[in-house]
Copies of this chain bind each other. A is one copy, B any other.
Amino acid sequence: MKEIRVLLVDDHPVVRAGLRAMLTAFEGISVAAEAADGDAALKELERLRILGDRVDVVLMDLQMGAGMDGVTATSRIRQLEGPPPVLILTTYDTDADILAAVEAGASGYMLKDAPPEQIHQAVLAAAAGQTALAPRVAALLMDRISNPAPSLTPREIQLLELLATGLSNRAIAKRVFISEATVKTHLVHIYGKLGVDNRTAAIAAATQRRIIRGPGTQG
């Protein structure tokens, strides 16, 4: 049986070391290379391709402090010729992350607190071209299918972002050159789509669903 060669992508050296130790403890798995962000991952893939080295699975973290984030890295990788399956291994099971990753072409989604054997199985499944979802993630996806995603208009998202900066309705109105009445109209629509009934809850909901970046979340 061929050995499965894995590319680790995570910005934490600690986690990379952990994955390396954990995976190499299993028979038939080796770590081809490591990368700290999406850019480095793509370069590593290119480098290994030139060397004629095989990469059977990319193990990717979604949250990365600097550099290309996991979702865009995933989609970039999937746009290569004969791309390796990308298995997401992340800390959070929050909503939009998962959808974004799946849309980007991820073939699996595991959580970091999973026991080693589960991660092992997921890597095997991914290498075999199958899909591997953590139970919690699977449940979340099912939930999301039943609950249709609210699609906000660009204008609504714009107002939502201004909202999150702490501006009042009047201030928002001045900022985008519309009347306060219009701002309120938009907000009502936004509340309806997000299933909330006040501005702070809207910010919380929108941030949670990654519709906007949280207040103060710069960079």
| Interface residues in A147-197 (C-beta closer than 8 Å to B) | 163-168, 196
B-contacting residues, A113-135, CB 8 Å: 113-116, 119
**Residue contact B200 to A203, C-beta cutoff 8 Å:** yes
Does any Cβ of B come within 8 Å of A30's Cβ? no
**A24 CB, min distance to chain B CBs, angstroms:** 10
Instruction: Judge if A204 is at the interface, Cβ distance under 8 Å.
Output: yes
CA distance A215 to B201 in the complex (A): 9
Q: Which of A11-19, A42-50, A74-82, A99-107 sits within the interface?
A: A11-19
Q: Give me 28 A-to-B residue pairs in the complex whose CB atoms sit less than 8 angstroms apart, sorted by A's number.
A: A12-B18, A12-B91, A12-B112, A12-B113, A13-B113, A13-B114, A13-B115, A14-B18, A14-B112, A14-B114, A15-B18, A15-B112, A17-B18, A17-B19, A17-B21, A17-B116, A91-B91, A94-B216, A164-B200, A164-B204, A166-B196, A166-B203, A167-B200, A199-B200, A203-B203, A204-B216, A209-B216, A210-B216
Number of copies: 2
Given contacts A13-B114, A14-B15, A14-B18, 4 further A-B pairs with CB under 8 A are: A12-B112, A17-B17, A18-B20, A166-B204
